[in-house]
Structure 1
Amino acid sequence: MNSELKRVCVPGPVIVGGGPSGLAVAACLKEKGVPSLILEREDCLGSLWKLRSYDRLTLHIPKHLCELPNMAFPPEYPVFPTRRQFISYLDAYAECFSIMPRFGQEVKWAEYDSTMELWRVRTHDSEFLCRWLIVATGENAEPVLPEIAGLSTYQGRLLHTSSYANGAEFKGEKVLVVGCGNSGMEISLDLCENGSQTSIVVRDKLHVLPKEMLGISTFGLSMSLLNWLPINLVDRFLLLCSWFILGDTQKVGITRPKIGPIEMKMTTGKTPILDVGTLAKIRSGEIKVLPAIYRFTTRGAEFVDGRVLEFDSIILATGYRSNVPSWLKEGEFFNSQDGYPNRPFPHGWKGKNGLYSVGFTKRGLLGASMDAQRVAEDIAQQWNSETKHMFFEL
């Protein structure tokens, strides 16, 4: 081992990641009397929300379905808390449970040492030894850049949504948004409302649903109906309501998949778009829908229908990915390609040799909270006096 590295023996679990998932499992462990240590690569908690999210972002799911274990949102918060409100909630959560991560500790690699029967977790200046390792870096650890010909030749302003704050600085520009998930749709609306000539690439078939139906959040309504009805009937109901509220999306260049929105979410993890006003701007022509990009040019892009258009700025709303394969030296629990647990929800929270995951359920904060409670309960059952004192003998 490098003589400059400091070896740290951790009696409880090491948690990699100081976002909502890491905070949730740390709080659940503390409630059961198990100490833990969070390693966070940035200098703050909830870095995705604090450093890489746009100003107008709100939760797309009602707050009661996004609460972390053992702490509700303040009652005065709206149904869909804003970005700033959610950040305040995370800070208050960490303070409530006295969670103090080690910041600036990016994990370079982690590997199970069968001789010591411990995990070795290496950062730039330290090696942490622990009996349990909890991976909580989440589904959105690294921005995804598309593999489209000519991207490096484009000479205008190019950025990923992780670097986008608001549309004020794009006023008067021709802007292309590449990607039509919830972020792409919402950023397109933000650009349009700030005076940009906005276009959005819609390459795939997708479901667009109203954010609320019958005065209730669409997601909350769906979850309630699933308690009584099969998925196919719930999907039919959602699509019928969407048709009455939003009209035929195919008329504006958005084709729906054959599989229903809830079934698609549960089988593929792909979330339907919850409309916040973008569709009306598309219908009015203020936001233009374009097909897939064939290649980028020095001044814009050529599309698969043959059109070649120029843009002052291009914003890549192409999502994020897990970064687990880049640092976790383990080939069974996590998939080496996509960085998710190989076993699907609800069975993907526990591996071998004290390895766990939180926040890889494709079910948002609710799924992360469910994982956190399962992991904490499992580790607490193993936590005994022998384990507590084993490190003093190293």
Structure 2
Amino acid sequence: MAKSLLEEGHRPEVFDRQPDLGGVWLLRSESKQAGAYKKVRFQTSKYTSVFSDFSGPSGGGHFYGVSDMHRYLSAYAEHFNLSPHIRYRTEVTKIVACADRWKVTVARDGEIRTDIYDGVALCQGLFWKPWQPDFAGLSSFQGQVMHSGSYFDEECLRGKRVLVVGNGISGMDIAEDATKSASKVYWAMRRPKLIMPRMAGFVPNDFQSPASLLADGDPAQMLERIRHSMPDYYRQYRKSGLLPNLDEFREQPVVQINDGIVQMVANGQVEAIIDEIDEFQPQGCRFKHSQRNLDVDIVIFCTGYANGEYLDSLPGVSMQDDFAMGIFHRDNPSLVSTSCPLGIAYSGTFFFPEMVARWYARVMSGSYRLQDNELNYHLDRRHGAVMGPIASLVFGLKLGLLPDPKREFKAFWQLLNLPSFPQIYRLRGEHSDPDAANRLEELRKLSLTNGKQTAALEVVKHRILAGFDDVVLRDLLRRGEIEERDYQGAGRYATRAIVFDWQSQYIMRGDAAARSETTPAYGAPHNHVDDEDYYRKLLGQLKTGELDNQGLLKALAI
């Protein structure tokens, strides 16, 4: 955010209650309640999980760990001289409207300070308030109870019988980590999810283009592709008992990333229990369906984080109701939130806040004026998740960072068929980077992109063209931007056109799911990336055809 504001000539002042850069990626072992644990690595590669204007130090593996991310952020701050603008160990305690500006109160070392600012950007992130289910009998359990937010490394588990609850990212990581020191590791989940390693053959699993995400997919084909392309992994997966069947995968079309847990379950190092916890007892717990009693010494809840509707520092302002698109304050857009309130699927988790920052900086400069349809767009229970690569496209088109497909369709289509490399969004437009094209070509070679167009991709192409009126199509044809078969193909998909409006980036729930109010068991609460509840709601849409982008089911990462 600070860098984007500086680009537009503003004078940002950053307040951070922590002692150093990093946010949740600032590793610490003392008094830890949230944030990264020692083992954490990105689920997406460093090629898609960086800022668009800085690739970072060379070397290292494909996927950043905690120290890698801290090194990257420090290098970024140094490269763009951001440190003089950051006030560490300073907590924002109150933000209130003051005419069309904002009165901000901060505290540092017992001193209170209040100033007036033209704008306020909320960049605190989402993963700070651990959420833990309240099971019957939990207070009677005589062992240790902790949340993954408090977990640092396996030393606290040495010699103990450990129960890890939840099969999101942290659940898989900690169950795997626990085998290094625990006497026994149990891993409880309500139902299996599809688990894939970080590498798909010779390339990272997030090297998937937005165009391929938009293609219609069949979950059965995806499972068959895994069986044929990764036979050793598939055999281990079958042996583990964790491989979801087709119906289970259709019910939960989500893919989790982990390199070792499947093999550890297959080899007996981790015992997976696919069941629901019924209640806790003094020595352990009992499971609902099997009625199995399990004695353990420590329970680790890997159940996500709660995202409240209100911030303590922002009284009377609803993060749910008062922010258009979940981003800009509806009445005064000089207040912005960079934290996407929904889970971000595929790549884009790191890149999303940068696109919001670039947008906000232009709004504050007056070079972008928010329209009524943008300020009136409201996120509600129908919005399930954000497809990161599609969101980036929507941002890029909105801010003029991509070729206009109605004028330069060839260039637009070429970029749409590359993985979601952030450098794409520095090729043109304001604050473009002259080195972006060279860096992008290096990444294209690394991705092994061959440029071949499958039948499924041709359908995507024609569905995009179907969203243009005939005058635009004829002009594209006349100038050689499309071929005659593309013009004819667009006509066949008039009722299934792909239009990159604001809603196109969302995985939408059906009306029934939007109306339902369910209580999470041991998954994350609503509006969190580890939340399982809304994935189950997609089943009805998959059956009725209400889900716009069924290419979701083809992904190998989330």
TM-score normalised by L of structure 2: 0.56
The alpha carbon displacement at 1:311 in A equals 1.0
Cα distance in 2 between the residues matched to 1:144 and 1:229: 31
8 Å CA contact 1:53–1:163 kept in 2: the answer is no
Q: CA 1:326–1:154 in 2, change beyond 3 Å: closer, same or farther?
A: farther
Match of 2:205 in 1: 218
Kept in 1, the 8 Å contact 2:276–2:287? The answer is yes
Which structure would you say has the larger RCO, counting Cα contacts within 8 Å and 6 or more residues apart?
1
Q: Which residue of 2 aligns with 1:8?
A: none
Q: Which AA in structure 1 matches 2:315?
A: K
Q: Which residue of 2 aligns with 1:282?
A: 265
The whole-number CA distance in structure 2 between the counterparts of 1:259 and 1:369 is: 35
Q: In the alignment, what sits opposite 1:357?
A: 337
- Asked if 1:186 is matched to 2:170, the reply is no
Given the alignment of the two structures, is residue 321 of structure 1 paired with residue 302 of structure 2, yes or no? no
2:101 alignment partner, one of 118, 128, 136: 118
- Residue matched to 1:38: 14
- Give the equivalent residue in structure 1 for 2:62: 79
In structure 2, relative to structure 1, the CA distance for the partners of 1:298 and 1:331 (3 Å cut) is same
Percent of pairs with identical residues: 22
Change (3 A) 1:217 1:238: farther
- How many residue pairs were aligned? 340
Task: Find the counterpart in structure 2 of residue 151 from structure 1.
Answer: 138
Contact kept? 1:32, 1:376, Cα under 8 Å: yes
Q: How many Å separate the matches in 1 of 2:180 and 2:63?
A: 21
Q: SS at 2:366's partner residue? A: helix
Root mean square deviation of aligned Cα? 2.9
Q: Secondary structure at the match of 1:67?
A: coil
What is the match of residue 90 of structure 1? 73
Change (3 A) 1:212 1:239: farther
Q: When you count strand as a share of all residues, which structure comes out higher?
A: 1
Please state how far the C-alpha of 1:127 moved relative to its aligned partner: 2.7
**CA separation of 1:236 and 1:257: change in aligned 2, threshold 3 A:** closer
Three-state SS of the structure 2 residue aligned to 1:379 is helix
- Structure of greater Rg: 2
Return the alpha-carbon distance in structure 1 between the equivalents of residues 24 and 16 of structure 2.
12
What is the one-letter code of the residue matched to 1:219? D
Which of 204, 216, 231 in structure 2 is aligned with 1:232? 216
Question: How far 1:324 moved relative to its partner?
Answer: 6.0
1:62 paired with 2:62, answer: no
Within the candidate set 151, 154, 160, 1:167 is matched to 154
Are the equivalent residues in 2 in contact too, given 1:205–1:257 (CA < 8 A)?
no
Q: C-alpha displacement at 1:193, in angstroms?
A: 3.3
Residues 144 and 319, structure 1, Cα contact 8 Å, conserved in 2? yes
Distance (Å, rounded) in 1 between the aligned partners of 2:327 and 2:145: 37
The 3 A distance-change label for structure 1 pair 106 and 250 is farther
Of the structure 1 ranges 168-177 and 249-258, higher mean CA displacement relative to structure 2 is found in: 249-258
Aligned-residue offset at 1:250 = 9.6
Q: Residue 390 of structure 1 corresponds to which residue in structure 2?
A: none
Shift of 1:174: 0.7
Q: For residues 40-69 of structure 1, what are the alpha-carbon distances to aligned partners after superposition, in whole Å with 9 as ceiling and x for unaligned?
A: 222222231123322121111010111124
Greater mean alpha carbon deviation, residues 182-191 or residues 305-314: 305-314
CA offset at residue 238 of structure 1?
Answer: 3.9
CA distance in 1, matches of 2:239, 2:106: 50
Contact 1:138 1:322 (8 Å CA) reproduced = no
Q: Which runs of 5+ in 1 are unaligned?
A: 1-24, 266-270, 384-394
Alignment-derived partner of residue 6 in structure 1? none
CA shift for structure 1 position 331: 4.3
SS in 2 for 1:42: coil
Tell me, in whole angstroms, the C-alpha distance in 1 between the residues paired with 2:192 and 2:363. 41
Cα distance, 1:138–1:78 mapped onto 2, change above 3 Å:
same
- Cα distance in structure 1, aligned partners of 2:205 and 2:13: 37
Distance 1:69 1:127, change over 3 A: farther
Deviation at 1:323, TM superposition (A): 4.8
Q: Deviations over 1:218-243 (max 9, x none)?
A: 222xx32x424634328555433334
Q: Distance in 2 between matches of 1:135 and 1:179?
A: 30
**Deviation at 1:122?**
3.1
Indicate yes or no: 2:225 matched with 1:241: yes
Please state if 1:134 is matched with 2:121: yes
* Structure 1 length-normalised TM: 0.77
Q: CA 1:229 to 1:94, structure 2 compared with 1: closer, same or farther past 3 Å?
A: closer
> Following the alignment from structure 2 to structure 1, what is the Cα–Cα distance between the partners of residues 53 and 366?
20
Q: Is 1:292–2:281 an aligned residue pair?
A: no
Task: Give the residue type in structure 1 aligned to 2:335.
Answer: L
Aligned position for 1:348: 326
Distance 1:301 1:80, change over 3 A: same
Call closer, same or farther: CA 1:151–1:326 in 2, change over 3 Å.
farther
2:361 is matched with which residue?
376
Unaligned runs of 5+ in 2: 29-34, 369-558
* Alpha-carbon distance change, 91 to 141 in structure 1, aligned in 2, over 3 angstroms: same
Please state how far the C-alpha of 1:167 moved relative to its aligned partner. Answer: 1.4
Other-structure match for 1:308 = 293
Distance in 1, Cα, partners of 2:92 & 2:156: 35
Tell me the amino acid that sits aligned with residue 241 of structure 1.
Answer: R
Aligned counterparts of 1:132 and 1:264: Cα–Cα separation in 2: 41
Distance 1:93 1:323, change over 3 A: farther
Amino acid at match of 2:328: K
Kept in 2: contact 1:207–1:257 (CA 8 A): no
Query: In 1, distance between residues paired with 2:23 and 2:213?
Result: 39
Are 1:181 and 1:273, in contact at CA under 8 Å, matched by a contact in 2? yes
Q: 1:230 to 1:117 in 2, by over 3 A?
A: closer
Answer yes or no: is 1:255 the counterpart of 2:244: yes
